[in-house]
Amino acid sequence: VVYLRVESARFAMSAVSAAFYDYPSRDMAIIGVTGTEGKSTTVSLIWQLLTLAGKKAGFISTVDYCLGGEVMANPEHQTTPEATTIHEKLAAMRDSGCEFAVIESSSHGLSPRTNRLGDVLFDAAVLTNLTHEHLEFHGTREQYKTDKANLFRSLDSHDHLKKGRLIPSFGVVNEEDTASSYFRSATSKPVYGYSTWDDCPRGACATGITEDAQGSTFTFSSSAQVFRARINLPGAFNVYNTLAAAITVFRIAEIPLTDLVGLFEKLTPIKGRMTVVDEGQPFEVLVDYAHTPSSFQAIFPPLRRRISGKIISLFGSGGERDTVKRPEQGRIAADYSDIVILSDEDPRGEDPVELLQAIAAGCPERTIGTDLFIIPDRSEAIRKAISLAGSGDLVLLLGKGHENSIIYADRTIAYDEIQEARAALREAGFGQGKAAL
């Protein structure tokens, strides 16, 4: 038996996987998307724009993936799979004729400790934002930032000739994020920005944003071109995700901006990202994956401005993960919500009630049983939220989004937040039964 002895089998697995599948990333234009929030949506929007423009593309994300055919649900909670799976899926995309592949690139996947993406030849790198997350793995925020920037550093190794076309490598960053300059400095390649500022000399910007329950209307500007645009994606933060996707597709696929902006209204949200649950009730129910202080800070203010009634927010926090964020989650939710309900997310090996009490410590001005409830059972908690909602209110279900299970110390139960909310609304008398009356 012939074998190779290496310092780290896991690190070496990346190079072995690339070779085993005959280096699939050499044959497609590869786009990596990293950041704390917005990665899955931005990956989807890039893929949608490419597909709507007539390009064959695949993608890999936390929520789902496409190998060149139908979009399939990702059954795992893992954002970036191991190197063996990454190259297997890239090979399937290549073999199905894809010209482009979009990969959601997590900090774990970009870290040399796992090296899941170490042998993927990226042509474009996108940064959505950088905030507090995953310190239980990286140790410090600086290391977290450094690991994510590996995506941009990888651009310097090449400009690829793929299928007869030279693809100059480039980066895309959110200009409004304080880390954008750090990511710019991580590569010598051109880096384009996006923002909601009035001036965008190196990328794209959106101004005059008007938000409603269904989406946003805004003025899109890039390369001295100005368009009035509309997206049917709830949440003002989706304007940022759309800008990132548009500038990336414009640069890598050379599709005219006029054509791209015309496709914006056809973009669809992904499951569990500001998903509307409507059973005919007189109040709104939204399901979103937001689970960090920064994502809370992104979604709550515009909702507070738009909602005239009460905001009833329901969320938890992952067990055996970053504990520092828990009281901060509670504080932000309490600042913008009329009622806060704390419930299981994925307690894992922690005591569910103690975990939720750590979140409640961030909103000491709230009274348990009046405007603060600790209800570990997620299904029961959703029914409580709906029972408290009236006309013009919003029930905001956060943290689970697209995920298909809740993980406890001794068991994992199947769970679908959207279907659970729909079932609770019907039990409350809304939906088909009420419509028939």
CB 242 within 8 A of CB 222: no
Mean pLDDT (10-residue bins), the chain, 437 residues: 90 95 95 91 96 96 89 74 94 96 90 91 94 64 87 84 77 94 95 89 88 90 91 89 96 94 94 88 92 88 91 92 88 96 92 93 93 95 96 94 86 91 94 46
Can you give the pLDDT at residue 136? 60
Closest CA to 42 of 129, 159, 160, 141: 129
Distance from C-alpha of 79 to C-alpha of 202, rounded to nearest angstrom: 30
Q: How far apart are CA 20 and CA 405, in angstroms?
A: 33
State residue 63's pLDDT score. Answer: 83
63-82: b (≥16 Cβ within 10 Å) or e: bbbbbbeebeebeeeebbbb
In terms of DSSP H, where are the helices of 97-215? 107-110, 135-138, 141-153, 180-185
Q: What is the model's pLDDT at position 167?
A: 81
3-state secondary structure of 372: strand
C-alpha span between 272 and 275 (Å, rounded): 5
Question: Which letter does DSSP use for residue 281 in this model?
Answer: -
pLDDT confidence of residue 2: 86
Predicted pLDDT of residue 165: 72
Q: What is the largest distance, in Å, between two alpha-carbon atoms of the chain?
A: 74
Tell me the whole-structure pTM to 2 decimals. 0.82
pLDDT of residue 213: 79
